[in-house]
Amino acid sequence: MTITRQDAWTQDEDLLLAEVVLRHIREGGTQLSAFEEVGKALSRTAAACGFRWNSYVRKQYQAGIELAKKQRKELRKKIGIHSSGMPQQALTKVEEKSSTGNQLTLREVIQFLEQLEKDPSGPNHLREELKDAHHQLKTLTEENEHLKRQLKMTEEDYRALIGIVERVKQNINLKDYAK
């Protein structure tokens, strides 16, 4: 049995929640899957993550949410997927057919879908591009985390160095006083 936390949320946990939800929005995923991912990482329930997002964190990230939605729209446009989730070329053919006043038959829809499946630039190609994009995003995220850790260590080293310099200055001033 997994124990779920019920303690207060920290700023780091809020930040993780925001990062994951915004990533899911950008990639066209659901907020529920984001809450589940964060819940596993923080040993909290998806419901607790959803409640925290909706009651507190979301309000602080309105601009980020709008940007993520814009990026999602641009990504879909780039890979040729309409906001409905249908491939753009499929939607165009359906619109052409309906604009002539003809109704689509089930047979025509099936034929179209079969052609779309055979098309090398169809859904399978898009899945591969999406898989590559996910892999690249994962790689860049890992690199970003590595760089954040390096920056934190460098900042700690810098603070330690400044502390040493300050102590040396104080010792020099004390020696001057003693003379």
Instruction: Mark whether 67 and 9 lie in a shared domain.
Output: yes
In 81-153, the DSSP E strands lie at none
* pLDDT single digits (tens) 25-68: 998 889 999 999 999 999 999 999 999 999 999 999 999 999 99
Q: How far is CA 135 from CA 33, 74, 141, in A?
A: 18, 19, 10
Distance from chain centroid for Cα 34: 9
Q: Measured between alpha carbons, how far is residue 58 from residues 24, 62, 64, 136 in Å?
A: 14, 6, 9, 27
Integer Cα distance of 111 and 165 in angstroms: 77
95 with 134, same domain: the answer is no
Q: What is the pTM of this model?
A: 0.47
Tens digit of pLDDT for each residue in 114-142?
Answer: 776 676 555 556 677 788 888 898 999 99
Residues 140-157, mean pLDDT to the nearest whole number = 93
Same domain? 1 vs 75: yes
Same domain, 167 and 179: yes
If 0-12 CB within 10 Å is exposed, 13-18 middle and 19+ buried, where does residue 20 land?
Answer: buried
Residue span of the structural domain in which 172 resides:
122-179
* 52 and 61 Cβ atoms separated by less than 8 Å: no
Do 141 and 175 lie in one domain? The reply is: yes
